[in-house]
Amino acid sequence: MASVLLTGGTGTLGRAVEHALIHHNHTVRILSRREQPAGRGPGTWAQGDLKTGVGIDAAVHGVDTIIHCATSGGRGDIAGIENLIASARKAGSPHLIYVSIVGVDSIPMSYYRAKFEAEQRVETSALPWTILRATQFHNLVSALFAVQRRLPLVFAPELRFQPIDVRDVASHLVELAAAGPAGRTPGIGGPEILTAEEIARLTLQSLGVRRRVVPLRFPGRMFAALRSGNNLVPGNRVGKRTFAEFAAEQTSRGR
């Protein structure tokens, strides 16, 4: 049983990771900018700001492992990882697990460039470390089309995705925490590769909406990299839950 500091613990992935850690009898401390909510026991919550470093020394004190799920985009991610690393060094060098995205080193997006730079900071941190890249989560790719549901047409880029369920990513992260520092680990993806058009249709079906889905081909280096499959890991289909199963769950919950 390990003591784990979880950043981004109130986010989509973070909530799934916390549940998985507790299920495996790990002690979990959530780092958040918010004040400790009612019902949280002593030591299970730490208030701090990764961008400024305020409260981070206290947050990392006494933990064996840090799972860094928090992300703010752009330079905020760089400042956050630098402050987290500095505090971790002072705390006795706990195992730092950084969650990244498949393709950050080859898809020219500003958000991805920052994630890749953050990976490099982890590699040179002098801490025991592990980096895990995952493909896009089910809820993210679904949202690309759910937001269009009131339009007369739904537009889908001519791209492929390998969406993965956050619960599958969370389970893998718990395994990595138990195994110890592993450096760069193979990127993980969901059990199937789907076109954006297929994902759009399944999303609309889950919403009970009938719309014509129109495929579009976008220009530019970013979309060229995506069309080349740089966002996919067909050789490592770790995820178990399909996108159709995710969509069906959303329907049953009255999405």
Q: What is the pLDDT of residues 149-200, one digit of tens each?
A: 888 898 999 999 999 999 999 999 999 999 999 999 999 999 999 999 999 9
Is the distance from CB of 97 to CB of 176 less than 8 angstroms? yes
- Using one digit for the tens of pLDDT, what is the confidence trace for 8-60? 999 999 999 999 999 999 999 999 999 888 878 878 999 999 999 999 999 99
CA separation, residue 236 to residues 137, 214, 245 (Å): 15, 30, 20
CA separation, residue 130 to residues 115, 164, 185, 214 (Å): 14, 20, 7, 41
pLDDT at 73: 77
In order of their start, the domains of the chain are 3-252 (3.40.50.720)
Tokens of 1: 């049983």
pLDDT at 209: 85
Q: What percent of the chain has pLDDT over 70?
A: 98
CA-CA distance, 113 to 225, in Å (whole number)?
Answer: 14
pLDDT at 1: 67
* Nearest to 88, CA basis, from 19, 4, 145: 4
User: How many other β-carbons are positioned within 10 Å of the β-carbon of residue 221?
Assistant: 10
